[in-house]
Amino acid sequence: MRIPQSLRLPARPALVAAASLALALPPLVAPAFTPLAAVAPASAQPADPQPVLRIGAIPDQRPEKLNRLYPLVASELSRQLGVKVTYVPVVDYAAAVGAFRSGSLDLAWFGGLTGVQARLQRPGARVIAQRDIDVSFHSIFIASTRSGLKPITNQKGLVALKGRRFTFGSESSTSGRLMPQWFLSQAGVKLSDFAGGAPGFSGSHDTTIALVSSSTYEAGVVNEQVWRASLLDGKAKRAKVIPIWRSPGYPDYHWIAQGNLDQRFGKDFTTRLQRAILSWRPSDPQQKQILALFGAQQFTTANAADYARIEQVGRQIGKIR
């Protein structure tokens, strides 16, 4: 039987990949945000032959700061490279790694551990750059002033944290979990030695500072950059929380790019992308804002070999298999 044209149902729009929706929040397109509700169904969109560079980052700080920083990065890269650049927020560290693994992100800002995890799961991925401060990054162990804990003069002094309520940041944070756990283990402190038989995991450096300031936890550990920024903006008050030990240095945050960008965007695109990031200087107004939000003066070259120690420690504590 032939169905009249007027009674036929419209064709379904193509389904968006479930993995991408599960891992990422609605994308923010530089220079302005695009509300998800305002986007027409895929079948109604005109064909866009120009590929879009999708960037993302681990959510290591407050969302409002991330939503200031990465649209600026997207705008600057779009201006320098002449391509459309979209910032794709993710819900947590694992989602950032998963989005890169699935190809939903083309360029991502990772910590040391998440960068190694993402690169191992995406053959061909390239380390592009790190900040000047990431060559030798540091963690800061902090304590509530009500805890009675005092500054520690050497690593062995970390034994004072046994029996205390202690929180890390994200479970996949390099500066808020991986390296601090390594330093603790070297001092003879096991995770089961903390009050309750296990540490907490706050999810981010800002939250760790807030929880220790309120004495919800007696002590915790954060990255040095966030600690200093929190003191400057008043989020951390020395009347409530103090630093008790600064760790030795280790390599940390870095940009990682997919290995197929030259095929998608043209010859030498990855090199152009790297040069663009390395060119950012405080003398340019927009680049100055970006660098200030990153807590750096500039970006420098980096390579996968720089993170061999992070991979080694990650395997030892079971975060890399």
**Residue 317: both structure tokens together:** 């504590």
% of the chain exceeding 70 in pLDDT: 85
pLDDT at res. 321: 85
Which of 19-33, 87-101, 163-177 is least confident? 19-33
91 Cβ contact list (under 8 Å, min separation 6): 23, 24, 25, 59
Please state, in angstroms and rounded to a whole number, the distance separating the CA atoms of residues 293 and 295: 5
CB 89 within 8 A of CB 25: yes
> Same CATH fold, 139-246 and 20-34+50-134+252-316?
yes
Per-residue pLDDT, averaged over 283-301, amounts to 97
Asked if 251 and 309 count as a contact pair (C-beta separation under 8 A), the reply is yes
pLDDT of amino acid 290:
98
Task: Domain ranges for the chain, please list them.
Answer: 20-34+50-134+252-316, 139-246
Q: Note the pLDDT of residue 89.
A: 97
Closest among 136, 250, 133 to 186, alpha carbons compared: 250
CA–CA gap between residue 26 and residue 22 (Å, rounded): 10
Sorted by sequence, the CB contacts under 8 Å of residue 302 that are 6+ apart come out as: 127, 128, 129, 130, 134, 251, 254
Write down the pLDDT at residue 191.
97
Kindly state the tokens that stand for 163. 């029996």
Higher-scoring residue by pLDDT: 175, 18: 175
Q: Is 157 helix (H, G, I), strand (E, B) or coil?
A: helix
Instruction: Give residue 22's pLDDT.
Output: 40
Average pLDDT for 98-118 = 98
Element (H, E) at 262: helix 261-265
| Residue 50 or residue 55, greater confidence | 55
Task: Specify the pLDDT at position 50.
Answer: 87
Mean pLDDT, residues 20-45 taken together: 40
For the chain, the average pLDDT equals: 88
Burial of 153 (0-12, 13-18, 19+ CB in 10 A): exposed
The architecture of the domain spanning 139-246 is: 3-Layer(aba) Sandwich (3.40)
Residue 9 binned pLDDT confidence (cut-offs 50, 70, 90): very low
Calculate mean pLDDT across residues 17-46. Answer: 40
Q: What is the pLDDT of residue 241?
A: 98
Quote the pLDDT of residue 278: 98
What mean pLDDT do residues 24-50 have? 43
Q: Evaluate if residue 3 carries a pLDDT over 80.
A: no
Residue 97's pLDDT is 98
Mean pLDDT across 7-14: 40
pLDDT surpassing 80 at residue 38: no
pLDDT digit string, tens, across residues 111-170 = 999 999 999 999 999 999 999 999 999 999 999 999 999 999 999 999 999 999 999 999
Fold of 20-34+50-134+252-316: D-Maltodextrin-Binding Protein; domain 2 (3.40.190)
pLDDT at 59 over 90: yes
Q: In percent, how much of the chain has pLDDT > 90?
A: 83
Tell whether the model's pLDDT for residue 187 goes beyond 80: yes
pLDDT in tens, 213-233: 999 999 999 999 999 999 999
- Window from 39-48, 157-166, 178-187, 251-260 with minimum mean pLDDT: 39-48
